[in-house]
Chain A
Amino acid sequence: EDKVVQSPLSLVVHEGDTVTLNCSYEVTNFRSLLWYKQEKKAPTFLFMLTSSGIEKKSGRLSSILDKKELFSILNITATQTGDSAVYLCAATGANSKLTFGKGITLSVRP
């Protein structure tokens, strides 16, 4: 059965800190790894990763995939209170359905 595990499950930091969120996966016929941000509503897309070692960046957020070790990390630098949310990692297999982890709750304190 496909599985995605995220760690830590929750994190509290202060504004300006840098955080690293972890995601490991076991998915048959793996196609892609996706990160979403969820703030009390539907998930919003952040990144999709398909190739190992290629970093994707968007402002203060960046992510990378290691297909050999089957994990991905999401980095957030210079955190702001607006980054407080649940960060979901999901992996897709042959049928493109998303298998999600439980999510990481990030709280950024002023």
Chain B
Amino acid sequence: DTGVSQDPRHKITKRGQNVTFRCDPISEHNRLYWYRQTLGQGPEFLTYFQNEAQLEKSRLLSDRFSAERPKGSFSTLEIQRTEQGDSAMYLCASHFRATSGPDEQFFGPGTRLTVL
């Protein structure tokens, strides 16, 4: 257990429905990242926050995706009008970013999304 939690662990939904995932990072970590991993691939970066500010979004993040970290603590990732291509493992990771220092990110257990 890394101290990063995600909820739910599994989600099955029908195409066209909206889904929301939650990530609770390690409490003192100021950076929170979302990644998506499909079968046979490494995780791909989606977006990241420093405290409550969303600093970068990947071009993979279409306008159906939105992420928030309202108080600089937990984060949510919402997918609207889900498509079968959204089926993947959604991973959250956190770390404390200082001017210098380690980049080790601690991953949560992931949310596996299946869109039927």
Interface residues of A (CB under 8 A from B): 4, 31-32, 34, 36, 41-45, 48, 88, 90, 92, 95-103
Contact = CB atoms under 8 A, between A and B. Distances in A.
B105 interface: yes
Contacts of A34: 103-105
Contacts of A42: 2, 91, 107-110
Contacts, number: 62
A48 B104 contact: yes
A41 B109 contact: yes
Chain B's interface size range is 20 to 34
A18 B56 CA distance: 40
A96 B109 contact: no
B3 to A, nearest CB: 12
Given A88-B42, A96-B103, A102-B40, 6 more contacts: A34-B103, A34-B105, A42-B2, A90-B42, A92-B103, A95-B48
Nearest to A90: B42
A31 B110 CA distance: 25
B48 A97 contact: yes
A98 B108 contact: no
A102 B45 contact: no
Nearest to A92: B103
